[in-house]
């Protein structure tokens, strides 16, 4: 992955040496109350392939779209974002049914198996601010739940290092190029997927079998 500026454009393309560890994050004390109807939220947590893969195997999620968040439409292109010159993060826009899976439950999955919230401007082998760990609430309720959960995690000292996951203001979300969508499902033997993202999906199944879906929710 992008260990230097020279490798920046190779983002999400090189296989890594080992998979990340997972953490059993606690249940949220502040549960989300979002009413009826489908809701959306944006999650950034490293290469969007893995973020999308985990949420695409989560019951109640009706769509998980890889894309870019944080900068302009003009700069929302993979080669530009991967170079590290934009304010975009690789992110996933998740649409879900809160009667099946609540926002606070999505947060628990995110912190348990998707992101290491102690890594600043990186995730695993991926380096750069475009790989930052960030939550983008799309409503006041999501914002309050996200703030409360991060405070809960900090107080519980789940990790030995400080949590650096950011809560960012919602801006326009730009879907990534077509070949990035459903990437893990279409490319199960890709080196990066095998080493980094398939273990995350396996962890979801093992740790949260009640919300794991064997089928992949394609876009």
The ranges assigned to domains in the chain are: 23-207
What pLDDT does residue 10 have?
A: 45
Low-confidence ranges of the chain (pLDDT < 50): 1-10, 16-17
Burial profile 142-177: b = 16 or more Cβ within 10 angstroms, e = fewer = bbebbebbbebbeeeebeeeebebeebeeeebbebe
CA distance 95 to 28: 20
Indicate if the alpha-carbon torsion angle 82, 126, 167, 34 is positive or negative: positive
What pLDDT does residue 16 have?
A: 46
Query: Do 56 and 218 form a contact (C-beta atoms < 8 A)?
Result: yes
**Any catalytic annotation for residue 47?**
yes
> Does the domain made of 23-207 have the CATH classification 3.30.1060.10?
yes
What pLDDT does residue 219 have?
A: 81
**pTM (two decimals):** 0.92
Identify the active-site residue in 1, 23, 42, 47: 47
What pLDDT does residue 19 have?
A: 54
């Amino acid at each position: 992955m992008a260990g230097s500026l020279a490798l920046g454009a190779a983002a999400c393309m090189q296989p890594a040496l080992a998979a990340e560890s997972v953490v059993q994050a606690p249940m949220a004390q502040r549960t989300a109350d979002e009413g009826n109807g489908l809701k959306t939220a944006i999650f950034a947590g490293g290469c969007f392939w893995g973020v999308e893969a985990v949420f695409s195997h989560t019951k109640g999620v009706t769509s998980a779209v890889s894309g870019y968040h944080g900068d302009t439409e003009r700069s929302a292109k993979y080669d530009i974002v991967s170079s590290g010159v934009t304010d975009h993060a690789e992110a996933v826009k998740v649409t879900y049914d809160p009667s099946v899976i609540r926002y606070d439950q999505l947060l628990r999955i995110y912190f348990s198996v998707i992101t290491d919230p102690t890594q600043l401007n990186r995730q695993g082998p991926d380096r750069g601010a475009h790989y930052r760990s960030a939550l983008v609430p799309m409503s006041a309720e999501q914002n309050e739940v996200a703030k409360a959960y991060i405070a809960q995690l900090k107080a519980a000292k789940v990790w030995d290092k400080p949590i650096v996951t950011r809560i960012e203001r919602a801006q326009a979300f730009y879907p990534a190029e077509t070949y990035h969508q459903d990437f893990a499902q279409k490319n199960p033997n890709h080196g990066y997927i095998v080493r980094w993202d398939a273990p995350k999906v396996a962890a979801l199944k093992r740790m949260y079998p009640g919300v794991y879906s064997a089928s992949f929710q394609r876009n």
